[in-house]
Amino acid sequence: MTMSGYKTLIGAGLALLTSLLPIFGYHVSDLFLTEANEIVDQIIVVLSSAFAIYGRLVAKVPGWLVK
């Protein structure tokens, strides 16, 4: 089963849901937002580091310091 086009709709639906929840009296705690931001930051650091290492390993041209 492929999700062509559905991932966008799911993401848009979640964004809409999070903006509508306060209207119905549901609020996200500040502690959760702080912890979620820290976790997302750590995930971004790990993924970007892995991507940089992979890019260096598969590069065809040597690094900048080669004569």
Kindly report the number of other CB atoms within 10 A of residue 30's CB atom. 8
> What distance in Å separates the CA atoms of residue 30 and residue 23, rounded to the nearest whole number?
18
Predicted model pTM? 0.54
59 residue type, one letter: A
- Taking only the tens place, the pLDDT of each residue in 2-49 is 667 788 888 898 889 888 988 989 887 888 888 988 998 999 999 999
User: Token pair for residue 61?
Assistant: 């041209």
> What distance in Å separates the CA atoms of residue 20 and residue 12, rounded to the nearest whole number?
12
> What per-residue confidence (pLDDT) applies to 45?
94
| Residue spans per domain, the chain | 6-58
User: Token pair for residue 53?
Assistant: 């290492």
